A and B are shown apart, each in its own frame.
Chain A
């Protein structure tokens, strides 16, 4: 990738947010007038356990450079173990990404509570920095 390409690259990240924690944390970030990159797309799910492995892969196919799943803290999932299931699926998808030659670290799962507006921004920026270093997804691979 040439230097000019790198400058033009604005990463896109899809974040699946549990409506009980991640989504509310994203709202809170708004209330606190914190800002995050415009390439972030927040998708509301009833539980992080709803995030199908397929959705994560489809997000890459649709042009995402990274996928972030925001789940409730351990032992605090409204649906008992939805967050643990999401974590296991992330592990699975990472394996699949590796097989097709994409960096597995493009997918991340983080736990937070509904009051963690700043943490939300932190996790989002963390993944943005990571995918910026990794560069855009080679669309031929998806």
Chain B
């Protein structure tokens, strides 16, 4: 590394608002004499266009090696300043921010205390900046093609969206025809078209498209590689083939479990899906939401919509029995009100109702906790809600793709940081029911979002790699595989050339630093957060 010429220091007083809580002039004086400081400047709004212009003029021409900014939290403007640095021709990563607003001016009422702490934080940042290695800026070419796994609602929609974005797609489906669950239901709630028409229209768009390959009865058998250059082995009735992809969208959907029916075979008992398929319905219908499996809101929504539709279409009397009404998804709460307005009778039970199936119909007896009385209902037909679980084979797929499974066995936790469509691996996106049970509209939105993100990752045919990342020193690596085991994003692979060492795939690394902390040989450092830099941060005055 070249010797550091000096660091430029900016102090921003946030439109003058920090001036009453901090002695800015004192800070400037305290820093001016430090040997590592090239100059100290003050600005009132560095994040504004004028500030950024002043910034570029001051740091332009590589007059300094790096910059330290005493300003607001790095969570706010770190990226803004990095971009400005880059434009001025400086390595954007030789930059450290001291948070003198949120951590000094705003939390300490005594300006003397806040000032002293601000100087300390800025010195700490200076130390960190001098220890920063410039991050090399480079780009790698990526594969154009996207692999979509699953040809149901989500997979078809994602494929269409990708085609619209001008991206070549390979769609694989393990069944012999496209459509997934759409082949089992008789109407789409949010759409006037029938599921069959919907599938046909999507198929028409993609079937003869020159950029789309569709393989039915095909599954993924192996996956190697990382974002931009996944190498997949596809296996199916057309044989086995290897293909390269830039990104992957998993759209394997969910699995519908039919409720176990004691009265299997009876015409008086059916399932919710069975009820939707019926073309002629008797006068009184009972729908039972079986809360034992923790009905997701999508089932509740489906039951409410079915109930309303039956009332509209056949004029039947519909009683909906539920333990708990889960309405925590788009519009289901509204549906609940609408269903009541349209005369759907809602009952709430605590203990599982008793059903007696006779020739005339079904008698349901239960105790309603709101009416506080025993209810006996006679209906001509009773339908039990299905239960929804992860698609069969999800576990194996997750294992192959190195995806993290949530507690319920879907390919994503209820994970706020990666919601809605990102997975723990860069370049692999999740759409629809494979990540959580979802209704048609959410699945479609998911699919479009996943397509857009996949397209974005590969945009321009290049992947920029100018970020902080973990770096392995192969001389120190003892090849214990700890990092490979602990990397949450599957970015580390064994490199068997020479004596064997772990190798970090730069484009897949998310710079979390877990490997660096776990490595027993201290062979891994995370740029921007190296051990040296972290220790510098810990110095007390």
Contact = CB atoms under 8 A, between A and B. Distances in A.
Contact of B413 (A34, A38, A62, A75): A75
B426 to A, nearest CB: 12
B51 to A, nearest CB: 20
Contact of B102 (A27, A41, A45): A27
B106 A30 contact: yes
A42 B103 CA distance: 8
Contacts of B361: none
Contact of B526 (A50, A59, A64, A77): A50
B489 A85 contact: no
Interface in A88-141: 89, 113
B512 A58 contact: no
Given A38-B113, A46-B529, A50-B526, A78 B512 contact: yes
A27 B75 contact: yes
B102 A79 contact: no
Interface residues of A, number: 47
Contact of A46 (B102, B424, B513, B537): B513
Interface in B520-541: 526, 529, 531, 534-535, 537-540
Contact of B414 (A31, A41, A75, A78): A75
A76 B415 CA distance: 5
Contact of A43 (B414, B512, B513, B538): B538
Number of contact residues on B: which range applies? Answer: 35 or more
Contact of A52 (B424, B489, B517, B539): B517
A10 to B, nearest CB: 11
Interface string A6-35: 000000101000011001101101110111
A35 B517 contact: no
Contact of A30 (B102, B518, B535): B102
Interface of B: 73-75, 99, 101-103, 106-109, 113, 117, 404, 406-407, 413-418, 424, 468, 486, 488-489, 510-514, 516-518, 526, 529, 531, 534-535, 537-540
Interface of A: 12, 14, 19-20, 23-24, 26-27, 29-31, 33-36, 38, 41-47, 49-55, 58-59, 62-64, 72, 75-82, 85, 89, 113
Ranked nearest first, the 10 interchain pairs of A and B with the lowest CB-CB distance are A50-B513, A30-B102, A78-B417, A30-B106, A80-B488, A49-B514, A79-B512, A47-B512, A79-B488, A52-B517
